[in-house]
Structure 1
Amino acid sequence: MKKTLGNILIYFMVAIILIFALFPLWWIANISFKTSEEALVIPPKLIYEPTLKNYKEVLFGVEREDNEGRWVPSTKGFMKQVGNSLVVSLTATFVAMLAGIPAAYALSKFKFKKKQNISFFVLSTRFVPPIVIVIPLFVAFRKLGLMDTKLGLIILYVFANLSLVIWMMKGFFDEMPNELAESARVDGCGQFGALFKIAVPVTLHGIAASAILVMINCWNEFLFAVLFTAKNAKTVTLAVMGYVTVREVAWSNMAAAGILITIPVLIFTIISQKQLVQGLTAGAVKG
């Protein structure tokens, strides 16, 4: 009886959490299929004739024009912004993993002075709010000619996520028996050989989980994108801003853009959820 009651309470709490998590997404999707007039109706209409016009306008763009008193923002740059986000996110993820994995391995398996201090310094970078370092970064990037460039965003995203990679991977390497690396060195492998031939294959799920989280962070990042880009390097998270103007807020178009931005992340997460779960739980289980 107690076990049954406990299960009911657990399912009830899970249902409440799911409602809070999924309701905003459902509401945005609901608005994306409405006209701008229907989106503003109070109380909201639950029964209406859905339209794909908003998605068409977002994907293929419309000219700025007055249409019976409605001003429609131009969205011709949406697909370019999607391309920019893909290039920046994938490149930043690759570079962050390439630099973070050896650093994490060194902090986990090597013995050297000030090791704990270095580890704390790496972790402390996660404590600093990004807005604190925006002004010096802005000045430096302007002098280096990195403003409004994909290279500039990649550099920012790599350093913003490098500490995450190092600390996640350090946990996975800590769980790896030292005997594996030592046996590899006995067989003639150097430190890098032991890393790439032994440590990397053993912690593959952890690498996948770290890469997935970094990729999602880069795709969803907004602050650096809005401050360090103007036109050429705009990412997809800025697409929604194009529907907020001094004359109108195009809620339906904004909702459609939000859904389109979310879809790649959802697909990517669903496809890689097995690797993500295995990676996030592997560090907590000792072999």
Structure 2
Amino acid sequence: MGRVVLVTGVAGSFAARFSRQLAAVGEDLGISRVVGIDLRPPEGELGGVKFVRADIRTPVIGKVMAVEDVDTVVHLDVAPDSSRAGNSKERNVIGTMQLLAACQRSGIVTKLVLASSAAVYGSSPRDPAMFTESLTARGGTRSGFPKDIVEVESYVRGFSRRRPDVLITTIRAAQVLHPAIETPLRDFFQNPMLPAAIGYDPRLQFCHVDDAVAVLTEAVTRDRPGTFNLAGDGVILLSQAARRLGRPLIPLPSLGFASAAARVTRVMGGNISPDLHRLLTYGRAVDTTALRDIFGFEPQHTTEEVFEEYREAVRPGVLSVIGARA
């Protein structure tokens, strides 16, 4: 009998995509069933995924895991405010605590895969050129989503000490950039003009959606314990991204940049995540050597390629086609 995989947050655009693809190839990879759980139903079809409507912030998550005989958990229900409705703090932190409590009580869970974020490193003027997995944040994790993800990883480490028999893989990914996948940077680039802090030109990294799906699939089907950064090689400057998209930059004072950028985007009818202002000021880049040398995965797309694919996709007349295929 194959693995039974539970995917949290399956109504999210990326989680739905991952779950569908995992279910589609599951039989060949030793997976007998994929179960997706979320408080709201997904917008599109999930293919061979069994959907369970439930709130992971409640003890019902344990009942679902027991009924479905779940032995592998992929935790994708950790996201910034802009990518879903409701209280993200509760969903991220309380939801993770309840999920880990259910895993703690389960006698058959043997693997946990956490889709974390490079936001765990924060963004500050004291950052190194590249973050490796052994480094910690120098600043920018005291509020919002970065604080959430730091807490989530802390709870997972605590769980690993209590249940050393459960294999844990943590993937710290840069943001996926794809027109059909909800992320703060995707929403930011959709603005007709892009706020920028005067005197700063941050380095940005992106992750291709196919690389993200492939890494998580590998973590589910093979034993890859540890924490690994995931991003496309290279960086792109905010000024370069704006120029290639044909979006003019709006220079704003760095002091009070977050509130000023929010006001400007509201006037334009656009959106900017409250957690983006430090990234759009100081930038961030991660080193993926451990992903290659220890995990054994080679990202197939550089940051430059991810951005160019996105730029091509959002050209007038192309975006609707991409959305229909997602």
Which band: TM-score by shorter chain?
under 0.3
Q: Give the TM-score, by structure 2 length.
A: 0.20
Greater strand proportion: 2
Which one has the largest radius of gyration?
1
Of structures 1 and 2, the one scoring higher in RCO (CA 8 A, sep 6+) is 1
Greater helix proportion: 1
Q: Give the TM-score, by structure 1 length.
A: 0.22
